[in-house]
Structure formats: structure tokens, C-alpha cells
Amino acid sequence: MSEAVKDPRFAPFYEKMKAEGLSDAAIFSFAHSYQELVSGASGMIEETSIVGVTELPDLEKDIRGKYTVNPALLGQTVVLKLNGGLGTSMGLDKAKSLLEVKNGDTFLDLTAKQVITMRNEFNTQVNFMLMNSFNTSKDTLSFLSKYPALVEDPKIELMQNKVPKIDKKTMLPAEWSANPHLEWCPPGHGDLYTALYGSGKLDALLADGIKYMFVSNSDNLGATLDTDLLAYFASANMPFMMECCTRTEADKKGGHLALRVADQQLILRESAQCAKADEPMFQDISRHKFFNTNNLWVRLDLLKQLMDSKGGFVPLPTILNGKTVDPQQDTSTPVLQLETAMGAAIECFAGAGAVNVPRSRFAPVKKCSDLLLLRSDAYEVNAASVLVLSAKCGGVAPIVDLDDKKYKMVQHLEAATKGGYPSLVGCKKVSIKGEVWLSSGVVFRGEVKVVNGSSEPKILPAAVYENTTVDLTDAVGLGPLRPFTLTTTPYNDQKPGTSGLRKKTKVFEKQPLYLHNFVQATFNALVATGTDLSDGALLLGGDGRYYNDVAIQSIIKMAAANGVRRIVVGQNGLLSTPAVSAIIREKGPNWQKCFGAFILTASHNPGGPEEDFGIKYNCENGGPAPEKLTDAIYEVTRTITAVKQCTDFPEIDLTQLGSSLVYCGDRSLCLVVDVISTTDHHIDLLKTIFDFPAIKKLVQRPDFSLKYDCMHGVQGPYAHKVMVEELQAGADCLINAVPKSDFNGGHADPNLTYARDICNVMGVDATGLPMPTASTPPCFGAAADGDADRNMILGRNFFVTPSDSLAILAAHANIIPFFAQQGGLKSVARSMPTSGAVDLVAARLNLNLFETPTGWKFFGNVMDSKTLFGGANFNPVICGEESFGTGSNHVREKDGLWAVLAWLSILAHYNADPAKPFVHVEEIVTAHWKSYGRNYYCRYDYEGVQSANANAVLAHLRGQFNTITGKKFGSYEVAKADEFTYVDPVDQSVSYNQGIRVLFTDGSRVVFRLSGTAGSGATIRVYMEKYEADPTKVQQITANALQELVAIALEVSNLKALTGFENPSVIT
């Protein structure tokens, strides 16, 4: 152990790093830096101790073409890109290498393509590695999956270490309980050597015969593996070689190469190592002619020798950075971050050398000015995927000087270039001061200066600008399309669940910018994942609950400020959840196609000023946002400090169909808001799926009648369009069909407890059993929830459980044209708590079966297995959940109206001959039970349970996993108890803690899970299931059949004692 590690002051750092599992090499290296800090060493390099380097071998003059390029050398070389940076200085929160550079390609795309091209050209395995940090690893490896030849190499990733931040006041490890992740920082790219050594990767490379390493920054696309340089480096037998460029006036404040007088050793001097008195000489580019490009060549065997001799690290000079522990909060604890630079290792190798290279090998992106230059026509991508200066530039790259305050962040540049990038091939220098929006119609020639001294963005009109100054200060502004930035404070409770973000309406109404924070976080996350908000349209709509109208107008203003150029809204703000999915998937033309949608709904939760409001985002496939996106949204909500909106954007009249065009001041920019029919697109799709004439024939039978309860949710207009206008049923077939903001004071949840209006008409009591009615009930009944994605199916004096409904629809799917015309139903999927009734159908009909966690997004993966993931085609598929959700792959949401029409199709099939007695719902279900057996099934919901009590129930159950197996409860014996984990067969993602299961030896089971759909409190759901194969026993009363199992569930969970609930809120 080194003396630095033994220093008592280092002890807390040693313990913290050991506990984190960091290598000894990482600890020793940090100890060396810490010792330099506490020793008071200045780290200064005095001018009198060095002399300037006046000459270096020149790549083009002295090396190019003069050394034999042996392809075998490539097999002994590894190309390593430094990829640990997030680009936070440019407003990025992901690996900087994932930033798009040219024609849709990122830095990483171009680097990967370069390596693959070189492998093919030389027929040699050019080795490739990335040094990732804990901030960049996950995103980078996920992105690289498109290049299997690279990502499947076990050597691909070298993980950069992390080191503790130091509390500036106490000099102890910084603590930040709000986010312990922020207590750590990367140690700078000098950690390359330590990471190689400590991880064992250095030994592994040497064992594989890798002798040479070429290192460069991932954002320097000029740093390609040059075979002439490789041949020169190998023949010169140097341990270390640095690529340098000649300094210009623009480089004089940066570090430089020097020669130490004492031992004639090449060293680097950075600006932080220069005393103020020496600054004039430091900046003298005739005295100190060369700077480090950070393109380095290293002999790995000699690196190994050096590090062995130094105890496992390279003793690099320490760079001290003052920060705050949370970089997003200036008021958080001041800290010190200790870093090292890999180029400084030049002073550690006797015999190290340097070479002068052209500027084309140094093209990093440090500022938005650099990025604009690369994205313009001044640069092109050649056949080898190398970014090169256009021949039209005459060998000299244009100078781009953007206002650092207005274009500090990539988001600022992208907002200013929504119309495309200006032409720079004929430009010598362009300078832009103030916020100016550009387009592909702008051409700069010679030297051009553009000035906007006003406080709002101004659009530079498309034109040729040559050797001129353009002052836009007094030009017409953006008018209603002018974006404003509002300062906000993050909320810590905006983590979206499987159904989006749901809270009490007052939270959205009263908490400042609560809705805005979530919407802005969604926009930010979408942009970060590559969505172009200006391409296509954003869809808006909801279930009509209280606050929907206010929220829609707010989102329109925010969408305008975030660059959305077309917004589609349902008339009166109304769109059912399945209709949203249908519109995203089906509505054209392609250039107006929706890239996603905000759905304003809390589904089946109550609505009104004192009740619940919700918002969720659906993606371009029409389905709910996947976990990767919702996690990204949540991360933004935790740190968000600003939201954008066009404050002066006019309120849109949502009652009138048609398009509203809103222009900026000079009419060069336009935003279109299309108010579309609430119902048409969804109904048009359903008419292609079902045989409407056959269903209409059923509905017109004199011995048939139906009732559809829309529960004052959004289904009313859809039900009227289908049942009354299309199928010609009387208007009295609809109940509660007018949408209301509070669902008329009801709870729009289609179950036996809350949908009492339809149940009373159909003669079904709260337990699902027949009850007397004043008149004969209709033949068929159904109910919908608030946003119309759920359904309840009833026959005359008969309740169809959602699990049985799913199984029966699957068994009869092929009578529906959608399935019959695609070769028949291929797959079925159910959520884990849903009964196994559909499993029996799948087994008999040889269908693919998927058991997933609760949440429609899991079904979406099955549906999109081929189109999005390149896997097997499981469509057509029928999916269902016990919570009254059913649907197919026609959309990516459950669809209540689809389920109703599917049942009407089955009834039409059995009753095609009007001369025969009518076959009722109960007869169809009973026949199914006699054929397949019956899964007796029941769900108890305990709503509004205190979260601590709900979690106590689950903890109590988990505590019995190891002791309950084999235990007998009455006539039941426990086979196993566990917590359901789902490995998605499509994308291989893993979902943990998806419900606790107690499985019995006879196939019966009890399941416990917490629901994520409540607006407040927690809902414990308990599911009991028992299978009965005997056809003579399939018509028992469910409560009687499950009585013993219910008692066991309550006993095992100790639910009554732990929650204080004597009875469930709802029994289904």
C-alpha cells in the first residue's frame, strides 16, 4: 500500500471506494491525486524550467508514404475512443458520442462504420474499444446493438472508474442524500491507464498479441486510424507518441507542448499550470508552437512496465476543478473534483515523442459553433465514413462564431435550425450575435455578420448573404410563435406508472407549473431519444374529465414553443384512448402522421375538481411509452428548471372542425392545429375489422335487444356512431351516453360495483348473480369506462368475467374477418393475474401464449415483435386483462368498443338463422365451460389503503416464501410461493416484482399485487382462481366455489389486521 493511501486523511475515501468495489489501481491513483491536493503542491510549471519545442516530424512532409504499411500491424492495434463524457456543457444528458452529426449519423455511428470499413479493406480484425463511464455505458451499448460485429466483442467496453467528490469545506467525501449518484464524478481521461490496468484489460490485450493502442476523443471525427502514423510509430519504437497541431491565435489560451530543461523530457503545460506572470510567454505561439490534439499512440507492453514499477498507476499531474455537488443546483454543496489528463503521460515515458499533424485530424465538437460547421455543407462524409472538408471550401474550413450565450446548448442550436442548416461552402467566416433562426435557404459567402440586439428570436430570411452585416434587431418578430422560457422548480412525485401520471386534480390545478413540468420533461426526453418534434404531428385528446380543456390549451402553447409544427386535436378535446392509438397508426398522409400523443385521462378513476386527473404519452406505434422513455421523463422531472411556452399563442376553438393556421410575424413560419372528428378514424378502422352487415342483421332481429352504458365517459359519441348510426339500433339502447367532466358524479369503472345502472337493467347483482327485474332484461349489455378502453360484458341475468370473455373471444376469433382473412388467430396474451381460461384455448388451438405483467405495453411488444424488433410475427393476436381490458393488434391499447363488437359478432354467428331460437350469452359461456372446463375466478380490491400498510402486506407475504411450501390450508397444499418476474421474449427486458403468487398443488392460486392506477393511496388487489374440469360442476356460484380459497388468502396475507379493512371495496 502506497504512503498516500496510508495517510489518515485519506481513510474515509479509501473506505468509500472499497465499498463501491473499485480496484486497488483506481484507489492508489486517486490517493496520489489527493496527496497532491493536501500537500499544497502548486502544480505550476514555471517558464524558466522549460523551453519551447520548435520542430516536430510532420505527418504530411516527413511521414506520409515513407513507411511500409504492414497490414499485420493492424491486427496488433486497438483503436480506443474516450466515451465517458455527457457533454453537459452543451446541455446533453447522454453520451456526447450519441449526438447526431451528419445525415442522421452520430459520432458513434461514423466511428463504428470507419472500423468496419477498415476491417473489410484490409481483411484484418481491427480491434475497437470504448472507454465508457458509469454515465454513458448503458446508452452507448444499447445504441451499438445495431453493429453486432462490434458490440458482441467482449473487449468492446472499458469502464472508466469513478472517484468521490470532495467537500470543499470539510475535505471529506461529499454527501448528497437527495441523489447519492452525484457524490461521484469521473476522474478525467487520465484514468484510461488506471482503468486498463485495474480491470485486467491491459493484460488481456497483451495476451491477445495487441501491442499498439491509438486513443482519441469520441467527438473528434478527424482522429481516424492512420496507417502511415501506425507504421511510423512502430518503426520508431517509441513508448508514447502525441499528435500535435500548430498553434494559432485562436489556440493561444490552451495548453502547449514543451521540453523540460532538467532532463530534456517532453511535457504538457496546461493553462492551470501557468503562473500569471508567465501568461504572456504561455500565449506566445512563436515560442510554444504546438498543442496536444489528444490523439495518442501508446505501446501497451511498455505501459505495463511503467505501471508495474509505479504500483499500478501512472503518476499524472492533478487538475483541480471547483463545482457544486449537484451541477444543476448552484446552491448545493461546493466540492472539488480531482481529474487527470491522459496526454500528461508524455512526461512519464522516457523516449516519448510527438508528431505535427494537419488540422483535419483535430475536429472536436466543444461548442455549438463546431457542431453547426460539421452539420453544414462545408463537411461531407466520404466512402470510408470519414467526415472531410468539402473540396468546395478550397482546403480551408469556414470559421463559425455563434453567440455563446444564445447557443450554449445543443437545444438552442436545434431550435434555431429547425428549418435546416445554412450553406457555408463559400464562406470564410460567419458571426452571429443574438438569437437568430436559420434555414437551408440561407447561403453565407465571404465574411458575414448577423446581429440581433432584441430580446426575442428573429428569423433570417432565406437569401444569399455575401461580405455583409445584417442587423435584425428591428425586424418583425415571431409574434404568437415566440417562445418564452418560464423558470420552474422540480417536483419529486412525477414518476409515470404503466398508465401515465395520475394525481388529484387539485395537484395539477394548484401546484405551479405541475402539468407544464411533466409535459416539458416529455418533450425533452423525446428530443434526447431522437424524436424530431417538427416532423409530423402531435395528437391531443382525452376523456373529457374536468381540467381537460385547460390542459389541452396549455399543451398546445408548449408544443408550439418546443418546435411542433402540426397539432391534431379531437373535437371538443375528446378522444378515447383506443381512438388515439388508431389515429396515430392509421391517419395520413405520411407527412402529417402523428409521432405521438398526450392522452388526458385517469381512465376509470373518478373525475371532477375533487377527484383525479391524468396524463400519459403514447409513442409512434400507438402504444404507451415504454419503460425506457418513462424513466427518461422521470429523470428530467427531478432536475427540470425551465419550461417553454408560446405565451401569446391564441386559444384554439375546439368545438369547430377544421384547421387553424397560426403564423409568426413575417409569415415565414406556421403552426397548424387540426381539429378532427372525435369518432371517424376509429370507427372507420373498426368497420374494416368486423362484418358490420352481419351485426346489423342481428341488431335488427325483433327478438334481440341491447343496452350500452357509457357511464358519462368519452365512449358516448363512439357508441352513438356505431350502435345508432351504423347498426340502426334505437337511441334508447344507450345509457349515460353524454360525456361529462365529472362523469355525472359517478365512478366510470365498468364493474359490478360501479356500473349499477347497466347491471340493474340486465338483472345482475353486485356479486354477478341473477336478480329480479321489473321487465325482461335485454339480450346483451355492456359498459365502458371513462376513456373507453375497458369493457364489461353482460347477458340477460348473466355476468361474463373478463377472463372468461378473453377465452371465449379467442375461441371464436376466426369468425371475425380481421382474423379469418389473415389466416386465423395466431397468438393470445394475458396478464399474469388474469385467469388461465385462455391458456386452455391456446393449448387446444395450438396458439402462442404469453403471460405478461399487468400493463398493455407488454402486449405491445408481442404485437410489434417483427416490425420493431425484427423478431417473429405473432400477429394476429388477442390480448386481455382481468381488469376488464381486451383488444387485438389493430391498435396498441385495449379497446372497449372492439370487445363489444367482437361479442356481437359471436352472437350474430350463433343467431344467423332467425328461424331458430335465439342463442343467448349465457348459453355460449356455459357451452364453453363444458368444453374447456371452468376457471372459477374472483378479484377483491381494497382501495385507498395507506401505502405503508399496503407495503406491510407484501412484506408479510415475502417473509413466508421459504417456509410456506408444503404447508396445508384445509383441502389445499402450497406448491410454491414467489414473486412474478417477467423476461420479455421479444426485447429480453426483465420486469421484477410483478405480483406475489401462492400456487397450490391442484393448480389453484392466489395472487397479490398493488395497482399503479389509483390517483391517491394504494389499491391492493387479491386474485383467487380454481380450475374445475368436471362438466357437471361448472355452474356453481363463484363465491361458493372459492369460499375456502378466499379464507386462505386472507389468512396467508394477514390483510385485515395489517390494513384495518374488514371487507374489500370492490368484488369482481
Catalytic residue set: 603
d(CA 273, CA 328): 28
> Long-range contacts: 421-424, Cβ < 8 Å, 24+?
421/372, 421/375, 421/376, 421/377, 422/376, 423/376, 423/377, 424/373, 424/376, 424/377, 424/378, 424/398, 424/400
d(CA 880, CA 898): 12
Q: Contact 307/248 with Cβ under 8 angstroms?
A: no
Q: Contact 233/295 with Cβ under 8 angstroms?
A: no
H or E stretch at 519: helix 514-528
Q: What angle do CA 722, 725, 729 make, to 5 degrees?
A: 80
* Nearest to 723, CA basis, from 700, 739, 702: 700
**CB-count exposure of residue 831 (10 Å: 0-12, 13-18, 19+):** buried
DSSP SS3 for 195 = helix
Q: Is 573 left (phi over 0), alpha (psi -120 to 50) or beta?
A: left
Q: Which residues, in sequence order, are bridge partners of residue 129?
A: 80
Q: For the chain, how long is the longest CA-to-CA vector? A: 111
**3-state DSSP of 427-478:** EEEEEEECCEECECCCEEEEEEEEECCCCCCEECCCCEEEEEEEECCCCCCC
Q: Is 381 left (phi over 0), alpha (psi -120 to 50) or beta?
A: beta
Q: What angle do CA 881, 887, 891 make, to 5 degrees?
A: 130
H or E stretch at 822: none
Q: Contact 784/734 with Cβ under 8 angstroms?
A: no
CB within 8 A of 392, min separation 6: which ones? 377, 425, 426
* 815 DSSP 8-state letter: G
Cell of 1055: 390483510
For residue 708, how far is the Cα from the chain centroid? 38
* 770 DSSP 8-state letter: B
Cα end-to-end span (Å), the chain: 66
H or E stretch at 312: none
Cell of 212: 499498439
Residue 923 backbone phi and psi in degrees, to 5: -65, -40
Cell of 132: 465508457
Q: What angle do CA 181, 185, 190 make, to 5 degrees?
A: 150
Q: Contact 752/1068 with Cβ under 8 angstroms?
A: yes
Dihedral Cα 400, 405, 409, 410, nearest 10 deg:
-30
* 315 DSSP 8-state letter: -
Q: Contact 1006/1045 with Cβ under 8 angstroms?
A: yes
Q: Contact 872/985 with Cβ under 8 angstroms?
A: no
Q: How many CB atoms lie within 10 A of CB 655?
A: 9
d(CA 1010, CA 1019): 6
- The 464-471 sheet, strands edge to edge: 399-402, 423-433, 443-451, 464-471
Q: Contact 54/66 with Cβ under 8 angstroms?
A: no
CB within 8 A of 6, min separation 6: which ones? none
